[in-house]
């Protein structure tokens, strides 16, 4: 490709010949008729020639400009247009069949703990550092690769960095087929991006969330509903299974929104999950930190539950958005079916919260996926506003004790304050009060923990 810039055109050249003709009209009145007519004929002839010459020059010039427009503006086959929404960068081919987008997110955290026992560990952490690329091919095929660079450094070796890594076909209209690593369809807050949760950490029901796994899913949705189902393996990444067949999940979810207008939403959802553990171990475990992620302390923890044949989970969701006011609640009940003489184990958790935008914004909702979307700041900082300010209060409750498993019961109260500086820049402070830990035999039994959790978050 060679876009040499030729500015050869000199439009002032057109004016030269015409100026020479003007003096003749001033002295014409006194000449005899014959001379005057001859002069007129000569002038008309010259006028014609000039008009002709002007025409030729203009034609050339216009042609040249048109050629420049054609060549330069659409410089090559496959031209791509770059645009931004002020946050992220998008590329689209001129035929709309191809698109590409690069994005990322950063959550930088600090937390301070006040507890009877002093091993909670004040500190700082990068909670998430995502980069992701996504795009479209041949109009109907989407893909997304997303990696969390904050994960490989985790001391929890089972947590790895690959997040979304999928291929999706959308050629059937509203129906989507997805293959690869993606979130299993279970739980309103689990499926909502970690960027858009009201509190720094998801509610305590998240301890049962399946997260992302390699699988195949079918999903669809409309103006008032969403539905999704998928089959998933248990291993998200390139691990080598040394023994036994991998566990697997069958997970499905349906949501219905009788009201689904901006600022006026009622959401109801139900989800179910059947999990078969890795066949050689038949083990599962569940635990939870105090809804804060800096500390490594798990206030409630079943430890390894042996002999699990399979595991079922049922999730119920409800949410409402009424202008600046919003409520949300989830309940998850699970059953671990165990073989032989071992008792089945029933565990459960729920949370409920209310939030209010002091600055009048509303939480956003995507009905066709049944999830919460990005809050749009009405008056961003730097555009004459003070951003959006949101206060919220959450009660959480988890019960990990049943049969001979004494994982413990946990009750939390969280007060949250969010300052959305821009649509994609937010500072949050959460005060988390552990109301009760009922876990006989553990040093955390009856522990009184107060946490101040701070977060700075940006995404693009």
- Residues 186-215 contacting a copy of itself, CB under 8 A: 213-215
Interaction between residue 458 and a copy of itself (CB under 8 A): yes
In terms of CB distance, is 68 or 220 closer to a copy of itself?
68
Q: Which of positions 419-438 make contact with a copy of itself (CB under 8 A)?
A: 421-422, 424-425
Contacts of 21 (CB under 8 A, 6+ apart): 43, 46, 47, 50
What minimum distance in Å lies between the beta carbon of 287 and a copy of itself? 13
| Widest Cα–Cα separation across the chain | 133
Interaction between residue 358 and a copy of itself (CB under 8 A): no
| Residue 310, CA distances (Å) to 207, 275, 346 in order | 17, 6, 12
Select from 126-134, 195-203, 329-337, 393-401 the region that touches a copy of itself (CB under 8 A). 126-134
- Distance from C-alpha of 323 to C-alpha of 262, rounded to nearest angstrom: 8
Interaction between residue 125 and a copy of itself (CB under 8 A): yes
Q: Which of 184, 199, 221, 156 is nearest to 313 (CA)?
A: 184
Q: Which of positions 52-71 make contact with a copy of itself (CB under 8 A)?
A: 52, 54-56, 58-63, 65-66, 68-70
- Distance from C-alpha of 24 to C-alpha of 237, rounded to nearest angstrom: 90
- Which residue blocks in 329-442 are alpha helix, DSSP H? none
In terms of CB distance, is 21 or 435 closer to a copy of itself?
21
Pairing assessment for the beta strands 248-261 and 225-233 based on DSSP bridges: antiparallel
Q: Which of positions 16-45 make contact with a copy of itself (CB under 8 A)?
A: 18-19, 21-22, 25, 28-29, 33-34, 36-38, 40-45
In terms of CB distance, is 281 or 316 closer to a copy of itself?
281
Select from 93-101, 411-419, 432-440, 442-450 the region that touches a copy of itself (CB under 8 A). 93-101
In terms of CB distance, is 109 or 369 closer to a copy of itself?
109
What minimum distance in Å lies between the beta carbon of 50 and a copy of itself? 7
In terms of CB distance, is 100 or 254 closer to a copy of itself?
100
The answer to whether 356 and 161 are in contact (CB under 8 A) is no
Interaction between residue 270 and a copy of itself (CB under 8 A): no
Q: What angle do CA 139, 142, 145 make, to 5 degrees?
A: 150
Could you give the string, one character per residue 359-378, with x where binding to a copy of itself holds by CB under 8 A and - elsewhere? --------------------
In terms of CB distance, is 203 or 215 closer to a copy of itself?
215
One residue of 219, 226, 295, 397 binding a copy of itself per CB under 8 A = 295
Q: Which of 382, 372, 289 is nearest to 330 (CA)?
A: 372
Interaction between residue 261 and a copy of itself (CB under 8 A): no
In terms of CB distance, is 247 or 416 closer to a copy of itself?
247
Query: Which tokens hold the place of 12?
Result: 């002032």
DSSP conformation class of 11: G
Interaction between residue 443 and a copy of itself (CB under 8 A): no
- Distance from C-alpha of 201 to C-alpha of 366, rounded to nearest angstrom: 21
| CA 321 to mean position of chain CA atoms | 20
Q: Which helix (H) or strand (E) holds 46?
A: helix 33-68
- Distance from C-alpha of 206 to C-alpha of 200, rounded to nearest angstrom: 13
Contacts of 374 (CB under 8 A, 6+ apart): 195, 196, 364, 423, 424
In terms of CB distance, is 7 or 404 closer to a copy of itself?
7
One residue of 184, 201, 206, 234 binding a copy of itself per CB under 8 A = 234
Interaction between residue 294 and a copy of itself (CB under 8 A): yes
In terms of CB distance, is 12 or 404 closer to a copy of itself?
12
């Amino acid at each position: 490709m060679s876009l040499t810039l030729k500015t050869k055109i000199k439009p002032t050249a057109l004016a030269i010949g015409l100026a020479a003709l003007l003096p003749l009209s001033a002295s014409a009145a006194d000449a005899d008729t014959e001379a005057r007519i001859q002069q007129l004929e000569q002038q008309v002839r010259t006028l014609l020639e000039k008009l002709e010459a002007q025409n030729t020059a203009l034609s050339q010039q216009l042609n040249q400009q048109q050629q420049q427009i054609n060549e330069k503006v659409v410089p090559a086959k496959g031209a791509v247009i770059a645009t931004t929404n002020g946050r992220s960068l998008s590329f689209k081919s001129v035929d709309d069949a191809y698109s590409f987008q690069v994005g990322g997110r950063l959550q930088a955290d600090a937390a301070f703990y006040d507890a009877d026992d002093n091993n909670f560990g004040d500190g700082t952490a990068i909670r998430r550092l995502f980069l992701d690329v996504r795009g479209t091919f041949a109009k109907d095929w989407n893909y997304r690769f997303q990696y969390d660079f904050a994960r490989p450094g985790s001391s929890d070796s089972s947590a790895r960095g690959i997040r979304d890594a999928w291929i999706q076909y959308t050629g059937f209209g509203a129906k989507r087929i997805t293959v690869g690593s993606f979130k299993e369809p279970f739980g309103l807050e689990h499926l909502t991006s970690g960027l858009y949760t009201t509190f720094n950490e998801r509610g305590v029901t998240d301890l049962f969330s399946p997260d992302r796994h390699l699988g195949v899913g079918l999903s669809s949705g409309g103006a008032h509903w969403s539905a999704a189902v998928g089959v998933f393996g248990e291993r998200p990444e390139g691990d080598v299974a040394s023994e036994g067949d991998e566990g697997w999940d069958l997970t499905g979810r349906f949501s219905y929104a009788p009201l689904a207008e901006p600022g006026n939403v009622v959401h109801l959802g139900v989800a179910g999950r059947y999990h078969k553990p890795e066949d050689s171990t038949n083990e599962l475990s569940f635990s939870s930190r105090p809804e804060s992620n800096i500390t490594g302390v798990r206030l409630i923890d079943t430890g390894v539950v042996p002999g699990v044949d399979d595991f079922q989970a049922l999730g119920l969701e409800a949410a409402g958005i009424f202008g600046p006011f919003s409520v949300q609640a989830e309940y998850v009940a699970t059953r671990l079916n165990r073989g032989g003489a071992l008792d089945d184990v029933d565990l459960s958790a729920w949370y409920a919260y209310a939030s209010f935008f002091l600055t009048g914004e509303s939480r956003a909702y995507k009905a066709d996926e049944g999830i919460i979307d990005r809050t749009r700041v009405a008056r961003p900082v730097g555009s004459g506003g003070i951003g959006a300010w949101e206060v919220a209060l959450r009660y959480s409750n988890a019960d990990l004790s049943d049969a001979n498993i004494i994982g413990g019961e946990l009750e939390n109260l969280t007060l949250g304050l969010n300052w959305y500086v821009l649509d994609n820049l937010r500072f949050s402070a959460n005060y988390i009060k552990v109301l009760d830990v009922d876990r006989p035999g553990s040093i955390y039994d009856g522990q009184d923990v107060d946490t101040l959790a701070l977060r700075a978050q940006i995404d693009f």
